[in-house]
Amino acid sequence: MQEAVRNYLKDVSSTPTSGTQSLAASTNRSALAAASNPGAIPSPAGPEVVTLGAGCFWCSQAVFEQIPGVVSVTAGYMGGTAPNPTYEQVSTGATGYAEVSRIVYDPTRTDLGKLLAVFWKMHDPTSLNRQGADVGPQYRSVIFYQTEAQREAAERSKAAAARQFAMPIVTEITPAGPFYPAENYHQEYYRLNKNRNPYCRAVIAPKLEKLGLQE
């Protein structure tokens, strides 16, 4: 986000702390990744997981937590290599991490195709390393998949979505790596700050309205 707005939240939020919750691993790969990166959260068994980057994670969390079948949405970081990244580090654009939302969903109530249909609508997937005034590789459009089936579904969805845009889609489709939850003050940011931070009214609220979701 614009730095003035980002600095604003520090004045109205508690001191950031790293997330420490853990979930059971659903694959050996995610379990091993988490073991080598203690701050990371492995994928849960049962519900399925996909991690999406669509610009500011305040926006994507506010959108996806309202989608039927979604169990939980956590704002965080994925795509870099250094363990336990902080917001300040990611904001430099030099870490390789993207701001993402980790979406846990019930496959008996929704599926990846439906979630990606929302994903394509909620941001501009033809914009490289930028969403509006949020500029940098940390705001890139990216789908981090957990399984080969998810990769195939993401590729099909991307090909179908491409027909809706005049410019080429630049969204990356890449294997998920360790996920690090963002600091506590980033979680549920829109719900807690929509009447205090002008970014919420100017950027997030219009996305929700466009998708027919509650503000």
* Tens of each residue's pLDDT in the chain, 215 residues: 444 444 444 343 433 333 333 333 344 444 444 445 556 665 555 899 999 999 999 999 999 999 999 999 999 999 999 999 999 999 999 999 999 999 999 999 999 999 999 999 999 999 999 999 999 999 999 999 999 999 999 999 999 999 999 999 999 999 999 999 999 999 999 999 999 999 999 999 999 999 999 87
76: which strand partners? 100, 181
pTM, two decimal places: 0.80
Query: Rounded distance, CA 55 to CA 40, Å?
Result: 21
| 115 close to 147: Cβ distance less than 8 angstroms | no
- From residue 14, alpha-carbon distances to 21, 38, 119, 186, 199 in Å are 18, 24, 30, 10, 18
Give the domains, in start order, of the chain with CATH numbers: 3-16+45-210 (3.30.1060.10)
Instruction: Tell me which residues are annotated as active site.
Output: 56
